[in-house]
Amino acid sequence: MGAQPGEKSPGGALFLLHKAKTGVTDMKILKGNLVSAPALGKLEIVEHGCLVLHDDGSIQSVEKAVPQNADAEVIDYGDSLIMPSFVDMHLHAPQYPMLGMGMDLPLIDWLNTYTFKTEARFEDSDYARRIYKKLASDLITSGTTRVCMFSSLHTDATLILMEELEKAGVTGYVGKVNMDRNGSPELQETTEQSKRETLRWLDACGRFQTVKPILTPRFTPSCTDELMSWLGKLAAERGLYVQSHLSENKGEIAWVKELCPDCVQYWESYDRAGLWKDHTVMAHCVHSDEREREAMREHGVVTAHCAGSNINICSGVAPVRTLLREGNLVTLGSDIAGGALLAMNKVITMSIRASKFRHMQSDGKDEFLTVEEGYYLGSSAGHEYFGGHGGFVPGDYLHAIVVDDSDFTEAAHPLSVRGALRARDLHDAPAQHRLRLVGGEKRRLLMKSRGEGAPLSPILENRKNFWTSY
């Protein structure tokens, strides 16, 4: 398999080689209240701790204080929290223009009435450029540095999306969508077109460093058996990962039964095509029963739980506690634009709320998610998917945010670091006003403020120097 996002790239090695030649060191130390979730329900806190960074943007060590004789610039964020960034494991880039709109219909009607029409607009590359530039910028200012994302079926727009993400510093996987049946007149490919365009897209992806392709059959009703099997073979031949949708809505599940009479359950329509495997991401899994959940566990299939979307289009509330209890891999997705919240801190709090609904429905049997658990799922679990770790771990590229709480309402009593995370930093203040991005892989992450040309706070000025010094 080629280099995955999150792995060290040849670029990093080259840079070190250059450093060895010139003898110039450019290490940095970030100081602040370090908070991370190394495992589900666990929080690791180092008050006024230090992240010592290599000049390629990876973590050299985590320290309790500035190491003596450190030959590095120290950037001190005072009492601000420094925490791993967010990971959005399921969203549809071409649905960004319909954010918060058209949520009066269930899944299949919602797709046919609103969604396909919106996605069809991405045949226009100029339009795609405008929307994707904005989306990439909004992601980074919300503190999301890694994504697993659907594009539309359009190859050119998908390449534009990958370009804009990479420029903005958003890393991860993007998929050109495959759909050769049950689309609309303006949004559907023939089987041959779908194959040909997938190969053209993959050929053009070589130029990207931190955004990589992932195979993306939209869902079983959108793809013929022939296309599904072809994609399964391609995934095996080229070592590509796969993303799709599973058991989101009862009408959808009944439809898959009709379309695939030889499959006992929905997941088998992916399995028989060779698409059900390690690192396959399946969005939703709202109605996955014990057997389907077991099949996910056995094959290393990852759930992307999208609580907001599931409520907006009345799909249901996924059994997150059950999935976790049984040992399934669970991550979170905004599912823009079934979901209407791009900022992952809000997606996390929405997931906690949805779990409270199941808690009430089960008379307390299903415990609701704690803030620590929600933060793990919306950050660490995603970083782990990309080969990183849950906490700040030497060797990983830094994916982190600094929370600038200067415009928060003053707390009634001093807050502990844990209290700050629980009470404020993951809750409902607008994310763009609170989250400041400080890191990312391969020195590429750009620092963003509230918009081009907006005045920078002293912290941001510091960071500007930091990142532009690379």
Does the CA dihedral 84-430-355-280 come out positive or negative?
Answer: negative
Contact status: 425 vs ligand GUN (CB under 6 A): no
Contact status: 189 vs ligand GUN (CB under 6 A): no
Q: Within 220-277, where are the H helices?
A: 225-238, 250-259, 267-271
CA distances in angstroms from 157 to 55, 130, 140, 188, listed in the order given: 34, 11, 20, 15
Which segment (39-47, 290-298, 330-338, 410-418) binds Fe ion by CB under 5 A? Answer: 330-338
Contact status: 96 vs ligand GUN (CB under 6 A): no
Judged by CB under 5 A, how many residues of this single chain contact Fe ion? 2
**CA 7, CA 23: separation in Å to the nearest integer?**
25
- Strand (E) or helix (H) holding 109: helix 107-110
Contact status: 180 vs ligand GUN (CB under 6 A): no
Contact status: 252 vs Fe ion (CB under 5 A): no
Q: Please give the residues from 226 up to 255 whose contact with ligand GUN meets the rule CB under 6 A.
A: 245, 248
Angle between helices 191-204 and 155-168 in degrees, nearest 10: 30
424 binds, among Fe ion, ligand GUN, none (CB under 5 to 8 A by kind): none
Minimum Å gap between C-beta 339 and Fe ion is 8
Q: Please give the residues from 159 up to 218 whose contact with Fe ion meets the rule CB under 5 A.
A: none
Beta bridge partners of 63: 50
Structure tokens at 462: 């510091």
Q: Which residue of this chain has its Cβ atom nearest to ligand GUN in the complex?
A: 338
Contact status: 358 vs ligand GUN (CB under 6 A): no
In three-state form (DSSP H/G/I as H, E/B as E, the rest C), the secondary structure along 190-215 is: CHHHHHHHHHHHHHHHHHCCCEEECE
Alpha-carbon Rg of the chain, whole angstroms? 22
Judge whether 2 and 212 are in contact, CB under 8 Å. Answer: yes
333 binds, among Fe ion, ligand GUN, none (CB under 5 to 8 A by kind): none
94 binds, among ligand GUN, Fe ion, none (CB under 5 to 8 A by kind): none
DSSP string, 388-421: --SS--TTSBP-EEEE--TTSPPPSSPPPHHHHI
Minimum Å gap between C-beta 338 and Fe ion is 6
- Contact code string over 279-298 relative to Fe ion, x by CB under 5 A: ----x---------------
Minimum Å gap between C-beta 335 and Fe ion is 5
Among 56, 166, 189, 335, binds Fe ion (CB under 5 A): 335
By CB under 6 A, name the binding residues for ligand GUN: 92, 107, 111, 115, 218-219, 245, 248, 309, 335, 338
Which residues of this protein are in contact with Fe ion, per CB under 5 A?
A: 283, 335
